[in-house]
C-alpha cells in the first residue's frame, strides 16, 4: 500500500505535466462513478492527503486510494483495463486496481490538511493532542491512524518505532510526554527521509527494521508479529525497544 511520500511523488509528477487548469477530453475505466460527468470539466488542482490522491474540480473531488495493490501510469497504458483513465489534450492519467470515489464537495471542505504528515500546514501540536486523548491506544495503532498521522503506513510505523526505541505494544497513556513528542517529530522526519530515498530508488536499502530479521543495534533476532487492531506486520526488538 503506497504511503504518503509515494502519493507526493505522484502529485509532483502530475504537476510537472502542467495539467492544472486543463480540460478532460475523454474518460474510460471500470469505475462505477459517473464518468460522463468528467468530460469537458476543468481540473482546478491536484492534491495529496495522506494516502489519497485528489483530482480537484470547482464543486467536487475525485479521490483515488491505491489500497494494497493499486498503481498508476502517466502517458502509458497496461494491457489490463484501468479503473479510471483521464485523457487530456496532450497527456493521460491511468489508475489501476484502485478505489475511485466522487465526492460532492471541494477538497478544502472535507480534508484537514494539518493532519497530513507531508503537508506544509502539518501541526505537530494537534497530533500530540490526539495521542493524549487516546491513552488506551497502542503505539502501533496510533502510527496507522490516518486521523492522527495521515500518510503514515506500515513501513513508517516500523521504522519510526525502531528509531525512537519504542515497543509497538506501548500504550499511549503510559508513554511520557517527551517521548510522545519524539514520536510525532520522528514520524514527520522519517516521512521526508522516505520521500528522498524513494526518489533515489534506495528506500529498501535504508530499512533498519521493516522486513528485517536481525536487530542492527543488538545483533539479536527481531520479533515479527501481527499486532494491533489492524493486525499489520510489526518488526521489533524486545531488547532495545521499550514497552511502556
**Residue-wise pLDDT tens digits, 58-96:** 999 999 999 888 999 999 999 999 999 999 999 999 999
Same domain, 194 and 217: yes
Q: Are residues 119 and 219 in the same domain?
A: yes
77 with 186, same domain: the answer is no
CATH number at residue 57: 3.20.190.10
Note whether 230 and 125 are same-domain residues. Answer: yes
Predicted confidence at residue 104, as pLDDT, reads 94
In a domain, 243, yes or no: no
Q: Are residues 93 and 143 in the same domain?
A: no
* Claim to verify: residue 123 and residue 230 sit in the same structural domain: yes
User: Which grid cell sits at 93?
Assistant: 492519467
Within-domain flag for 178: yes
Cell of 44: 482546478
Confidence band of 26 (pLDDT split at 50, 70, 90): very high
Domain match, 100 and 154 both: no
Q: Which of 111, 127, 155 is the last residue of a domain?
A: 111
- Split into its structural domains, the chain has a count of 2
- Is 229 in the same domain as 127? yes
Contact 172, 134 (CB under 8 A): yes
Q: Write out the DSSP string of the chain.
A: ---HHHHHHHHHHHHHTT-TTPBP-EEE-S--S-GGGGTTPBP-EEEEETTEEEEE-SS-EEEEE-TTT-EEEES---SSPPSEEEE-SS-EEEEES-EEEEESS-HHHH--GGGBTTSTT--HHHHHHHHHT-TTSBHHHHTT-TTTSBT--HHHHHHHHHHTTB-TT-BGGGS-HHHHHHHHHHHHHHHHHHHHHHHHT-GGGG-SSTT-SB-TTT-SBPEEEEETTTTEEEEE-TTTSB--
Of 111, 128, 159, which residue constitutes the final position of a domain?
111
Together in a domain, 103 and 118: no
For residue 2, pLDDT beyond 90: no
CATH number at residue 231: 1.10.8.50
**One domain for residues 98 and 125:** no
Domain assignment present for 182: yes
**What confidence category does residue 222 fall into, taking pLDDT thresholds of 50, 70 and 90?**
very high
CA 41, CA 195: separation in Å to the nearest integer?
32
Q: Give the residue from 24, 74, 78 showing the smallest Cα distance to 53.
A: 74
**Residue 158 sits in which domain range?**
114-236
Answer yes or no: do 8 and 36 share one domain. Answer: yes
Q: Tell me whether residue 244 is in a domain.
A: no
Query: How far is 56 from 86, CA to CA, in rounded Å?
Result: 13
**CB distance 107 to 56 below 8 Å:** yes
Same domain, 100 and 135: no
Residue 57 lies in a domain: yes
pLDDT tens, position by position, 165-198: 999 999 999 999 999 999 999 999 999 999 999 9
Q: Of 67, 82, 111, at which residue does a domain stop?
A: 111
d(C-alpha 212, C-alpha 223), whole Å: 9
Amino acid at each position: 500500500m503506497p504511503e504518503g511520500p509515494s502519493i507526493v511523488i505522484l502529485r509532483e509528477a502530475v504537476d510537472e505535466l502542467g495539467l492544472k487548469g486543463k480540460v478532460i477530453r475523454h474518460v474510460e475505466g471500470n469505475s462505477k462513478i459517473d464518468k460522463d460527468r468528467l468530460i469537458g470539466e476543468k481540473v482546478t488542482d491536484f492534491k495529496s492527503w495522506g494516502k489519497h490522491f485528489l483530482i480537484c474540480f470547482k464543486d467536487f473531488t475525485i479521490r483515488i486510494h491505491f489500497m494494497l495493490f493499486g498503481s498508476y501510469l502517466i502517458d502509458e497504458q497496461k494491457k489490463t483495463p484501468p479503473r479510471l483513465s483521464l485523457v487530456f489534450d496532450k497527456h493521460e492519467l491511468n489508475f489501476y486496481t484502485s478505489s475511485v470515489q466522487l465526492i460532492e464537495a471541494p477538497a478544502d471542505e472535507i480534508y484537514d490538511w494539518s493532519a497530513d504528515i507531508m503537508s506544509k500546514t502539518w501541526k505537530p501540536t494537534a497530533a500530540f493532542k490526539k495521542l493524549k486523548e487516546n491513552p488506551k491506544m497502542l503505539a502501533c495503532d496510533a502510527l496507522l491512524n490516518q486521523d492522527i498521522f495521515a500518510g503514515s503506513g506500515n513501513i513508517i510505523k516500523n521504522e519510526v518505532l525502531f528509531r525512537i526505541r519504542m515497543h509497538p505494544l506501548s500504550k499511549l497513556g503510559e508513554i511520557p510526554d517527551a517521548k510522545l513528542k519524539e514520536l510525532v517529530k520522528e514520524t514527520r522526519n522519517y516521512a521526508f527521509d522516505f520521500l528522498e530515498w524513494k526518489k533515489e530508488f534506495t528506500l529498501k536499502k535504508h530499512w533498519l527494521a521493516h522486513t528485517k530479521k536481525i536487530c542492527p543495534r543488538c545483533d539479536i533476532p527481531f520479533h515479527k508479529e501481527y499486532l494491533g487492531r489492524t493486525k499489520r506486520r510489526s518488526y521489533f526488538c524486545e531488547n532495545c525497544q521499550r514497552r511502556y
